[in-house]
Structure 1
Amino acid sequence: MGKDNNPRVDDDNTFRAFVNALYNTIDAPVTYFREKIVEPNQKKYPWYHQKYRRVPTIDQCYDDDVVCDFEANQQFKRDRAVDSEILGILRQRYEDCMIYEHPDHATACVPLWKKYKESEEAWFIKYGDLGAYGDARKAYMKQKHRMIWERRHGSLSSLTG
């Protein structure tokens, strides 16, 4: 090892020493800037999309609070987009499993199929029949009507299963 605990072996070759000196002249400021300035100032979080703070939901807003209503609708639209993407990913995983496990896909892909169907049902319970212009208030009313119906008639799952 060299004098400065560098793992590179010291060489008597002057050309190689010149190239190393030139490399260190260019690399040292860049490495210093990255390690001392860029990396300490980076946000470190384990997700890859922007994480918004949660705002009050539509049932927590006053009737005349337009800003709260707008924020709740924006959050509802983001949540709907995220849930739709998750459902799309589950569907794609199931389709990939069917292609990969072709002769035995009827048995090998059953757990993925069940997970996809459960997620699809949950998505439809929350967002189904709202249409293209569905917003947080319509979804809240849909949830309220479903709860009233289940209180009067029993759970929907007990009727279908």
Structure 2
Amino acid sequence: MENVLATYKCNFRLFKQPYSIGDTFEDNGNFYLIVGIERYRIMHNILTVWYTVQNLQQTNYKTNKKTFRKNPMEVEATLKFKFDSKHLKTCFLGTRHFIEGYHYKVIEYTDIKIVSTDIHISLLLKPLYPVDPQQAKASVSKERRKKLQIELV
């Protein structure tokens, strides 16, 4: 099971279509299935993508998951930027973004496509919600009492 999933780094010239999730390719006599996108980087005219791949030659493992189901709390989005946009350097996994009045955290990339001079990045976002204002006030009050070492009897 240890060698079934791995990280595979691929370099593409800008404007050449990168692999997508679900694509297969061969390397050193082994066939791999792309099951995820871990991260990307654009430097000069090279798009580097780190994929999570499954070695299709490995078949001696057991799994209890049959299909992938999207969590109902996740939102799908596609970002479209010019290849040299500064925004491409800010949209990484774990980052928080304010979109149309709401906060979202990037949790997974689902696709990267080159369309003319644009790069389209599809991803899953998790909505972030602040705590209730009364709960926030209670937390502040509790921390202040703790700091002053005051106990209410």
TM-score of the aligned structures, taking structure 1 as reference length: 0.20
- Greater relative contact order (CA < 8 Å, ≥ 6 in sequence): 2
Which structure features the higher share of helix residues?
Answer: 1
**Greater share of strand:** 2
Q: Radius of gyration: which is bigger?
A: 1
